[in-house]
Amino acid sequence: MAANSNPTIRRRRLGAQLRRLRLASGLKSTEVAELLMVSQSKISHLENGNRAISRRDVRDLCEIYKVTDQQVIDSLMQMAKESGQQGWWHAYGDIPQSIYIALETDATSLHTYESMTIPSLLQTPAYAHAVIKETIPPLTAEEAGARLKVRLRRQHRIYNPSRPLRLWVVLDETSLRRVVGSPDLMREQLEHLNALGAEPHIMVQVLPYTAGAHPGLSGQFSILRFADSSAAAVHLERFTSDLYLEKPSDVQHYSVLHDHLQAQALSPDSSRDFITDVTKMYIDAASHPECGDGR
């Protein structure tokens, strides 16, 4: 599913809530459409998050579903209001992964496995700039600058004292040893990684080469969970279009994969020691460039 064709996360969550209320009421979508004198496709689009949901729609549907809890009604009305608002990232123009950013902005926790690079939320500005510049060559300087600003703005979530994103990262050893930019840039990045890993809401584990074959060999993935404990999504990043999986069975499958990766990875303390050892390698490489590039 192409990222730019997905609705916003707030709209999707509101649609899912309305669908649950309809099912609880025992009504079919065709029956609801008849009561509202609208097409059945409109009800389907509302529940799938494929179109905007007005507060009037919410009010009418709550009446049909006999929702009497005012807190529930107020919450749904607020979600309807927010679903029509643009996210902060729209100010930067046509930014890829806008749906993922919407998910990440609303998420309360993020479990991720990364095989090739340091995850975006844990990157230094210099490392992020080098990754953006080298992995997407056709970008103009202006486009690359906009993407860098968005990436750094996303990192506010992990620094938010009132609502920090709980982050559990499993990194393949490759992501630490792949020299992005220069040995000195990598030293700065790994020192930054270790500093963030010491935060109580951020867990970093390294999966060393000695772990052998493991469930992450198929590639990067992230699991996002939200304040509504029943809501979750899996994000699979691709070069031209990303995939978003929301079926409970899919989320459960990737949750089990992440659990296995955590079990095979070094403990958080041992991971910090491992990262420190790799950092020393980059310090030596920067001090003696004639000896190689640190790989």
Which long-range contacts link 187-191 to residues 24+ away (Cβ below 8 Å)? Answer: 187/279, 187/282, 187/283, 187/286, 188/124, 188/126, 188/127, 189/118, 189/123, 189/124, 189/126, 189/127, 190/275, 190/276, 190/278, 190/279, 190/282, 191/279
Q: Spell out the per-residue pLDDT of the chain, length 295, in tens.
A: 333 333 466 777 788 889 989 999 999 999 999 998 889 888 888 888 777 788 898 999 999 999 989 988 888 888 888 776 667 777 776 777 777 888 888 889 999 999 999 999 999 999 999 999 887 777 888 888 999 999 999 999 898 888 889 999 999 999 999 999 999 999 999 999 999 999 999 999 999 999 999 988 888 999 999 876 667 889 998 766 778 888 889 999 999 999 999 999 999 999 999 999 999 999 988 777 665 544 4
Claim to verify: residue 53 and residue 125 sit in the same structural domain: no
Query: Is residue 88 in some structural domain?
Result: no
Q: Based on the domain organization, do 158 and 210 belong to the same domain?
A: yes
Residue 24 falls within a domain, yes or no?
A: yes
Q: Which of 32, 57, 83 is the last residue of a domain?
A: 83
Q: Is the pTM of this model over 0.85?
A: no
Check which CATH number belongs to the domain holding 210 and give it: 3.30.870
Same domain (yes/no): 174, 43? no
We report the CATH number of the domain holding residue 44 as 1.10.260.40
If one counts the domains in the chain, the total is 2
Determine the structural domain holding residue 143 and report its residue range: 97-291
Domain co-membership, 163 together with 258:
yes
Q: Is residue 258 part of a domain?
A: yes
